[in-house]
Amino acid sequence: MGYLESIASPRDLRELTPEQLAALASEIRDFLVRTCSRTGGHLGPNLGVVELTMAIHRVFDSPTDRVVFDTGHQAYVHKLLTGRMAGFEKLRQEGGVSGYPSQAESPHDVVENSHASTALSYADGLAKAYTVRGEGRHVVAVIGDGALTGGMAWEALNNIAIAKNSRLVIVVNDNGRSYTPTIGGLATALTSLRTSPRYEAVLELIKKRLNAVRGIGPATYDVLHAVKKGMKDAIAPQGLFEDLGLKYVGPVDGHDLAAMEQVLEKAKRFDGPVIVHALTRKGFGYDAAEQHEADQFHSPGPFDLETGEENPKGEIWTDVFADEMVRVGRRRKDVVAITAAMMHPVGLDRFEAHFPERTFDVGIAEQHAATSAAGLAMGGLHPVVAVYATFLNRAFDQVLMDCALHRCGVTFVLDRSGVTGDDGASHNGMWDMSVLQVVPGLRLAAPRDATRLRELLGEAVDVDDAPTVVRFPKGPPPEDLEAVDRVGGVDVLLRNGARDVLVVGVGSMAATAVDVGERLVAQGIGVTVVDPRWVKPVDPALVDLAGDHDLVVHLEDNGRVGGVGARLLQELNDAGVTTPFRLHGIPQEFLDHAKRAVILERIGLDAQSLARGIVEDVTALGEGAATVEVHRQP
Ligand SMILES: Cc1ncc(C[n+]2csc(CCOP(=O)(O)OP(=O)(O)O)c2C)c(N)n1
Ligand SMILES: CC(=O)[C@@H](O)[C@H](O)COP(=O)(O)O
Ligand SMILES: [Mg+2]
């Protein structure tokens, strides 16, 4: 039996000798590689924090001391050291551990939100709470160099710098990368810290030399030490953090357990906020990850253990977007592209390869991306901002007041919209079609397949007086679904003449809507299945169609509250259309992690249960029920 199985809590770490700790670190790496080769997951980030996490749990006393992980994708080691090894069998799957901290899983876990750059704000609040309550608990925040490029992190640092008696230790996990090398002035400043001679080592050398000089030596050293700021700037420019008034310790080798423990012990004794700058390597200890140029195995799918080759994924929606963006870029010299540190994941790498001067990586800074895009539009260009749908949440005000208020022609492409599943509650892109409903002038499109994505992207970049949004889900696009007719701007996908039921399938739900329609036809029920394409503003043809049918069934891969269906209902009401209406969407809840298909079935967005419910409604209506009984989803 190895050491890992014997670790039920971090306290067990303190019984181990240095040799046993080294063996444990090796076991953890082997376990992570083997597990992620089966399940996929954030292997690279977690291989980079093995010793760092062990050191934190040996020096601090979780859960009395709180350990907060920024983004949380690098918390697998933390989970292994807090007794959850068994849950990795089904990592990020139903019944297994989530890929992020989870309060339901353990009292050692604090922050579940996977949105980056929040850890320091949580930590600032926690540390202040313990100060106010008079509790001598420490708070340790682990934040990556990438997450440090997010604005919230600097809002927090600005406050932490004056919280002089906060027992807060910030561990900067500096591996030089987000997915790709971290960009911007911050990265340059971290590099200068990373590459400067070790300040302490040089200071020790000076101390030894001067103390050897009888009489004046020690006094001279004291004078020198008194101007250590000047020395530090000379030896190791500390401006980045020290100019904020923050105590800085480092850089330290984040893979040297003893060195990390020594520095953390020093930081722990310092009665105020302190930054520990740890240098680590993403993917450390597994060659295939370390040498993976694209992103050092940031979040691979299942892969071959021997070769490190990822199992082939096949074409996904992102690939369709990536290729179409190159075509758009060729015909439209004014189109530029912006990513928030996710060039490849959002499909802009091909555009960048063709048009590097028209491609901007702003770091993990979606708010800046949106307002910078407004500036680009004001400057006569048409920016395409590509982000995962859930991450646009934090740029809502920028979309509203910087883009829409000024009628800027900016196109937001939202990948991973709807239920994503694997990454848990904060990754589902279930918010955009609700929050964006309130943005005056903004136009929103939801393509049902690859061809419509190409069409709608082209239509979106042609709009130069309002923000536009094109959103699509995670995974492979369905086969193309050709329309049999178009009414106004609405595609008719299926109809059999009778007008019993109008099924509205938004975006990725159009394929499900056609499946439902075919089941209804087989039951002799009259049905029309439509895809609105542009869902905001609501197409008047959709209102007319609803008025011509006995029942409307609306399907969308977005939260039920305030989404497209809610808006359509409002339009029907305003138009005096009283057709009974069933709104099917994602329940307005935080959904636990599981595969997308599993979740869609669980929440009733599968064709079989939808069709069954419609047959019951039509029967009820046929029996003279004035309206269908409303079974509200939660
Ligand atoms: C607001 C937000 N934007 C984008 C992401 C996607 N994302 C997840 S991890 C990551 C890179 C994080 O880099 P870093 O903080 O350096 O951590 P590392 O992976 O290097 O350990 C990004 C961009 C996110 N989680 N949150
Ligand atoms: C932690 C984070 O936000 C990303 O790494 C995300 O987990 C990637 O998601 P995909 O695997 O869907 O690209
Ligand atoms: Mg990093």
pLDDT tens for each residue of 544-578: 999 999 999 999 999 999 999 999 999 999 999 99
Ligand that lies nearest to the alpha carbon of residue 316, given by its number in the listed order: 2
**Which residue among 317, 344, 423, 428 has the greatest number of ligand 2 atoms within 8 angstroms of its CB, and so is best to mutate?**
423
Which of the two residues, 151 and 186, has the higher pLDDT score?
151
Q: What is the dihedral of CA 111, 114, 120, 121, to 10 degrees?
A: -80
423 CA to centre of ligand 2 in angstroms: 7
Q: Residue 300 Cα, ligand 3 centroid: separation in angstroms?
A: 16
- Ligand nearest to the Cα of 368, by number: 1
Q: State the catalytic residue, choosing from 247, 366, 495, 582.
A: 366
How far is the centre of ligand 2, averaged over its atoms, from the C-alpha of 41 (Å)?
Answer: 9
Q: What separation in Å is there between the alpha carbon of 147 and the centre of ligand 1?
A: 6
Strands 490-495 and 485-487 turn out to be antiparallel
| Residues 251-269: tens digit of each pLDDT | 999 999 999 999 999 999 9
- Is ligand 2 within 6 A of the CB of residue 416? yes
Q: What is the CA(298)–ligand 1 centre distance, in A?
A: 9
Residue tagged active-site, from 177, 232, 394, 596? 394
Euclidean distance between CA atoms 425 and 525, whole angstroms: 37
Residue 282 Cβ inside 6 Å of ligand 1? The answer reads yes
Strand order in the sheet with 139-144: 66-69, 139-144, 168-174, 274-279, 247-253
- Give the count of beta carbons closer than 10 Å to the beta carbon of residue 365: 24
The secondary element (H helix, E strand) that includes residue 265 is helix 257-269
Q: Which atom of ligand 1 lies closest to the CA of 42?
A: 19
pLDDT at 497: 86
Annotated binding site: 73, 114-116, 145-147, 175, 286, 366
Q: Is the pLDDT assigned to residue 244 strictly greater than 60?
A: yes
Residue 536 annotated among the catalytic residues of the structure? no
- Tell me: pLDDT of 634 over 60: no
| CB of 144 shorter than 6 A to ligand 1 | yes
What single string gives the DSSP state of each residue in 208-254?
A: HHHHTSTTHHHHHHHHHHHTHHHHHHHHS--HHHHTTT-EEEEEEET
Considering every ligand atom shown, identify the ligand nearest to the alpha carbon of residue 341 and give its number: 1
Q: Which pLDDT score, from 0 to 100, does residue 188 have? A: 87
Residue 187 is predicted with a pLDDT of 87
The answer, yes or no, to whether any atom of ligand 1 lies below 6 A from the CB of 115, is yes
Q: What is the DSSP letter of 345?
A: T
CA distance 17 to 23: 10
Judge if the beta carbon of residue 299 lies within 6 A of ligand 2. Answer: yes
Give the pTM: 0.93
Q: Are 268 and 60 in contact (CB under 8 A)?
A: yes
Write out pLDDT tens, residues 578-623.
Answer: 999 999 999 999 999 999 999 999 999 999 999 999 999 999 988 7
The ligand with the least distance to the CA atom of 47 is 1
Q: What is the pLDDT of residues 388-422, one digit of tens each?
A: 999 999 999 999 999 999 999 999 999 999 999 99
Binding residues for Mg(2+): 145, 175
**For residue 102, what pLDDT is reported?**
98
Atom of ligand 1 nearest to the CA of 394: 1
User: How many whole angstroms separate alpha carbon 463 and alpha carbon 444?
Assistant: 11
Q: From the CA of 349, how far away is ligand 2's center (Å)?
A: 16
**pLDDT for residue 238:** 56
Q: Is 282 in the pocket of ligand 2 (CB under 6 A)?
A: no
Largest Cα span, the chain: 107
Q: Omega of the bond prior to 237 within 30 degrees of 0, cis?
A: no
Kindly report the average pLDDT of the chain as a whole number.
93
Q: Residue 633: its pLDDT value, please?
A: 45
pLDDT of residue 21: 98
Mean pLDDT of the region 510-539? 97
* Residue 416 Cα to ligand 2 middle (Å): 9
Q: 247 CB less than 6 Å from ligand 2?
A: no
Nearest CA to ligand 1 atom 23: 341
Domains of the chain, start order: 4-180+238-290 (3.40.50.970), 317-471 (3.40.50.970), 485-622 (3.40.50.920)
Residue 138, ligand 1, Cβ within 6 A? no
- Of residues 212 and 232, the one with the higher pLDDT is 212
Residues 393, 114 contacting (CB under 8 angstroms): no
Concerning whether 394 is annotated as a catalytic residue, the answer is yes
**Protein residue with least CA distance to atom 4, ligand 1:** 364
Q: Which of 336, 320, 328 is nearest to 373 (CA)?
A: 336
- The reply to whether ligand 1 has any atom less than 6 angstroms from the CB of 350 is no
User: Residues with Cβ < 8 Å from 182, sequence gap 6 or more?
Assistant: 145, 146, 148, 149, 176, 190, 341, 363
- What percent of the chain clears pLDDT 70, i.e. is strictly above it? 91
ipTM: 0.99
Q: What integer is the mean pLDDT of 325-353?
A: 98
Nearest CA owner, ligand 2 atom 11: 299
Dist. CA 134–CA 160, nearest whole Å = 18
Looking at the CA of residue 45, tell me the nearest atom of ligand 1.
21
Distances (CA, A) of 242 to 206, 228, 236, 259, 289: 22, 12, 11, 22, 34
450-470 per-position pLDDT tens digit: 999 999 999 999 999 999 999
Cα-flanking dihedrals φ and ψ of residue 303, to 5°? -145, 165
Q: CA 292 to CA 305: how far, in whole Å?
A: 14
Which residue matches tokens 């889900």? 473
Element (H, E) at 387: strand 382-388
Nearest CA to ligand 1 atom 21: 45
Binding-site sequence positions for thiamine diphosphate: 73, 114-116, 146-147, 175, 286, 366
Residue-level pLDDT at 190? 86
Burial of 145 (0-12, 13-18, 19+ CB in 10 A): buried
Would the CB of 347 count as within 6 Å of ligand 1?
no
**Which ligand does the CA of 176 lie closest to?**
3
Q: Is 282 a catalytic residue?
A: yes
Q: How far, in Å, is the centroid of ligand 2 from the Cα of 299?
A: 6
Annotated active-site residue in 58, 282, 448, 567: 282
Could you give the percent of the chain with pLDDT greater than 90? 87
Q: How confident is the model at residue 246 (pLDDT cuts 50, 70, 90)?
A: very high
